Amino acid sequence: MKKIGFVGLGIMGYPMAVNLIKAKYNLTVYDVFREKADALLKMGASVAASPREVAAQSEIVITMLPSNEVVREVLAGAEGVFNGAKQGTIVIDMSSSSPTLIKELHAKAVEKGLCMLDAPVSGGEPKAIDGSLAIMVGGAREDFERVKEILQAMGSTVTYIGSIGSGNVAKLANQIIVAINIAAISEAISFTSKAGLDPEVVYHAIRGGLAGSTVMDAKLPMMYNRDFKPGARMMVHIKDLRNALEMAHEISAALPLSSQILEYMYSLKAEGKENIDHGGLVQFYEKISHVVVQKKTEGLRSCSGDKND
Catalytic residues: 171
Q: Residue type at 17?
A: A
Residues 16/44, Cβ–Cβ less than 8 Å: no
Query: In 84-209, which residue ranges form alpha helices assigned H by DSSP?
Result: 99-111, 124-130, 141-152, 166-194, 199-206
Beta bridge partners of 110: none
Among residues 25, 9, 7, 16, the alpha carbon closest in space to that of 129 is found at: 16
> 3-class DSSP state for residue 62?
strand
Neighbours of 279 (CB within 10 A): 27
Cβ-based neighbours of 258, under 8 Å, separated by 6 or more: 176, 179, 180, 241, 244, 245, 248
Q: Position 159: which residue type?
A: T
Q: Residue 4's beta-bridge partner residues?
A: 27, 60
Q: Is 3 helix (H, G, I), strand (E, B) or coil?
A: strand
Report how far residue 237's alpha carbon sits from residue 96's, in angstroms, rounded to the nearest whole number: 9
- Determine contact, residues 75/105, Cβ cutoff 8 Å: yes
Query: Contact at 8 Å (CB) between 61 and 112?
Result: no
- Identify residue 136 by its one-letter amino acid code: M
